[in-house]
Amino acid sequence: MAQFPTNLNEAIEWLASFGGEPDGGVTRTLYSQSWKDAQQNLKGWMEEAGLLTNYDCVGNLFGKLPSSNPNAQTILIGSHVDTVKSGGKYDGAYGIIAGILALIQLKNQFGQPSINLEVVSFCEEEGSRFPIALWGSGMMTGVYSYKDIRDIRDSEGISFETAMMAAGFGRSEYRVRDDIQTFIELHIEQGPTLEKVNKSIGIVKAIVGQKRFRITVNGESNHVGTTSMKWRRDALHGAINMIHDLYEGVKEYDEDLVTSVGQLFVEPNVPNVIPNHVQFTVDARHPNESVLSSFCQQFTSRFETHAKKHDLDIKIEMWHEVHPAQMDRKLNEMIDSICTGSGIASHWMNSGAGHDAQLFARICPTTILFVPSKGGISHSPLEFTSTKDLETGLEVLIKFLHQLAYNR
Ligand code: HGY
Ligand code: MN
Ligand code: MN
């Protein structure tokens, strides 16, 4: 293959090669070598396509198709280049690739737009290396500043600032842009809805809010054989009761409430020693802020009750919170009529996954559109979307951008 891809499928495989894993998954965490290779190669592809490229000072990468009007505002399209550990080829990547291909086609077919069109490859969204998520869009929308990453480290103890500086970023003050008029993200659904209702495009009304916690439970390690059950301070026994109550507690709410314990560490993790230290995570989500808050209050107080019962110390830290976000109705109605006019079946729905669009909705008209995920699988090497569905999403994006940015 030439150095840069010439079509959607080629581009998906090409981008997935940066951080490709033997199991077919992709691991491309913030400021890692595979992350740098991906950003640099995307920059090369954008430049070959005739887009004006630049990085901002935290590593978001941009490719601009400038308007004929020097004072024009900008329509930003794109998604995140980072992945979860051994994630899929499409989460984030598809939105960047479709953005580049859309600008190439619009440039070739219609020339200069009347509004700047700019594709962005956000540096980080997942929160899979450092305990902060939506870093790239969070800096662009003023949600974060450098103080939010001070003192945070990855699982190897590398500080965020060290990793950011080593990748060549973080060396100047961040200037929040004031020219972004609209943000549009094209993304895989990461769930089963579109497949179940047999529709090709998801028109997203709202993105759920989420709260992510790190729970640390400390007890006392001791000999399994010589310590009677009544004298133990067993951190894992306490944590298991907490986690059991978490999953039972969800049943007291409507089915839009979801939660999971994704990570669990036990120390000393030895078969004949009573665990004295457990750390686990909780990720809880709901489209309604007050329902989400009430569930989080409920489980945290139940955790404290179990800690007392087992004579354990407990620390509950919320390290990530993002509020539910409404997508722009007018933009969604445009997508709806593009789909109808093109004979493409669409479906109005909510997003259970968080997205960069969630933060842009705070500062400008924003929407996100979905294409189906096979079996609803995502954050896995088995993540898959058919070429036909990928192409349909790109077709709608191109028509949408043409309506928004030409003959205005
Ligand atoms: O976790 C999420 O919702 C997103 O995929 N980062
Ligand atoms: Mn994801
Ligand atoms: Mn994503």
pLDDT, tens digit (0-9, with 9 covering 90-100), for 370-394 = 999 999 999 999 999 999 999 999 9
In the predicted structure, residue 1 carries a pLDDT above the cut 80: no
| Lookup: tokens for 5 | 């891809």
Which mutation among 129, 187, 377, 379 tests ligand 1's pocket best, with the greatest number of atoms within 8 A of CB? 379
pLDDT at position 408: 65
Q: Which of 124, 189, 190 to mutate to test the pocket of ligand 1 (most atoms within 8 A of CB)?
A: 190
**Is a pLDDT exceeding 80 seen at residue 301?**
yes
For the cut 70, the answer to whether the pLDDT of residue 266 exceeds it is yes
Stated pTM of the model: 0.90
Tens-place pLDDT, residues 38-55: 999 999 999 999 999 999
Helix (H) or strand (E) holding 13: helix 8-16
What are the DSSP calls for 210-241, one per residue?
A: EEEEEEEEE-B--BTTTS-GGG-B-HHHHHHH
Please say if the pLDDT value at position 402 is more than 70.
yes
- Peptide bond between residue 271 and the one before it cis (omega within 30 degrees of 0): no
Specify the ligand 1 atom closest to the Cα of 354.
3
CA 190–ligand 3 middle distance (angstroms): 8
Cα 92 to ligand 1 centre (Å): 10
Nearest to 295 by CA among 349, 263, 255, 326: 255
Instruction: Give the C-alpha distances (Å, rounded to integers) separating 108 from 64, 65, 133, 395.
Output: 14, 11, 36, 15
Give the per-residue pLDDT at 3: 86
Which ligand is nearest the CA of 85, by number? 2
Ligand 1 touching residue 353 (CB < 6 A): yes
- Given a cut of 70, is residue 2 above it in pLDDT? no
pLDDT at 365: 98
> Atom of ligand 1 at shortest distance to CA of 125?
6
Query: Which among 207, 355, 380 is the best mutation to test ligand 1's pocket, defined by most ligand atoms within 8 Å of the CB?
Result: 355
CB 63 within 8 A of CB 107: no
Q: Give the whole-angstrom CA distance, residue 264 versus residue 277.
A: 11
Averaged pLDDT for residues 332-356: 97
From ligand 1's centre to the CA of 105, what distance in Å?
A: 30
Q: Does the pLDDT of residue 293 top 60, yes or no?
A: yes
Question: What residue segments make up the domains of the chain, in order of their start?
Answer: 8-207+325-405, 209-322
DSSP state of 159: B
Nearest CA to ligand 1 atom 4: 354
Provide the pLDDT confidence category of residue 407 given band limits of 50, 70 and 90: confident
Q: How confident is the model at residue 143 (pLDDT cuts 50, 70, 90)?
A: very high
Distance 246 CA to ligand 2 centre (A): 23
Other CB atoms within 10 Å distance of the CB of residue 391: 17
209-322: CATH topology = Alpha-Beta Plaits (3.30.70)
Is residue 124 lining ligand 1, measured as CB closer than 6 Å? no
Query: Can you give the pLDDT at residue 54?
Result: 98
Domain 8-207+325-405 matching CATH 3.40.630.10: the answer reads yes
What pLDDT does residue 385 have? 98
Q: Ligand 1 within 6 A of 126 CB? A: yes
Q: What is the mean pLDDT of residues 48-75?
A: 97
Three-state SS for 290?
Answer: helix
Which pair of structure tokens corresponds to residue 60? 């978001």
- Between CA 282 and CA 294 the distance in angstroms is 15
Ligand 1 binding pocket includes 287 (Cβ within 6 Å):
no
Q: Which of 81, 90, 122, 125 to mutate to test the pocket of ligand 1 (most atoms within 8 A of CB)?
A: 125
Burial level of 245, CB count in 10 A (0-12/13-18/19+)? Answer: middle
pLDDT at 235 over 80: yes
Interatomic CA distance for residues 160 and 152, integer angstroms: 6
In the 8-state DSSP scheme, what is residue 62? E
